[in-house]
Amino acid sequence: MKFTPTPLAGVWLIEPELRADERGFFARLWCPRELAARGLNPALAQTSVSFNHRAGTVRGMHWQAQPHAEAKLVRASRGAIWDVAVDLRPQSPTRLQSVGFELSADNRRMLYIPEGCAHGFQTLTDSAEVTYEISTFYDAASGRGARPDDPLLGLTWPLPVTVISSRDQEWPLLSDRPAALR
């Protein structure tokens, strides 16, 4: 696996190293030893999948609060997405900064998002499927979110938004919330 650091500490772009021959290729997509060697959380509690019918669909921005904060390794297993991480860690020098990358079934890139960062994506193709490796079990009471158009985040999406849940549209602005709820 090839690990490339991003401008946000702890957020990594990961590419599988393909071992190709006349049959095709073989590659690792998850290796706790390689994650741990870089100080990343190697725990794997669950794998989840999200299927999205239409290009322009936005999901996010989501995270779980302590003590259930989660790290995620995200990849597009079908189609393509614009994947975004936002640093919400209180003491981080990159707090409220974001990074975004195109992840696709064709480029096979993955984004590692550590605890304390919000995550979301926009589908760039119809029938996009996203797979998540998640470090801890989902806890509904710890679920948090921010509107994808929250001015404090300053995110821009590559396509017009075609589909978004009412829940993601109705999160209160981060500037209107106490820091403990962010």
63, amino acid identity:
W
Segments of the chain scoring below 70 in pLDDT = 179-182
DSSP 169: H
**Residue 162: predicted pLDDT:** 97
User: What pLDDT, in 10s, does the model give residues 101-129?
Assistant: 999 999 999 999 999 999 999 999 999 99
**Residue 182: predicted pLDDT:** 57
Q: Residue ranges of the domains in the chain?
A: 2-181
Q: Which of 2, 4, 31 is nearest to 16 (CA)?
A: 2
Hey, which residues are catalytic here? 62, 132
Burial class (CB in 10 A: 0-12, 13-18, 19+), 181: exposed
165, amino acid identity:
S
Give this prediction's pTM. Answer: 0.94
**Residue 177: predicted pLDDT:** 83
- The torsion angle over the Cα atoms of residues 84, 85, 86 and 88, rounded to 10 degrees, is 150
**Residue 179: predicted pLDDT:** 66
Three-state DSSP class for residue 137: coil
The residues near 123 (Cβ < 8 Å, ≥ 6 apart) are 52, 54, 55, 56, 57, 79, 80, 81
* Helix or strand run (H / E) with residue 60: strand 57-64
Topology classification of domain 2-181: Jelly Rolls (2.60.120)
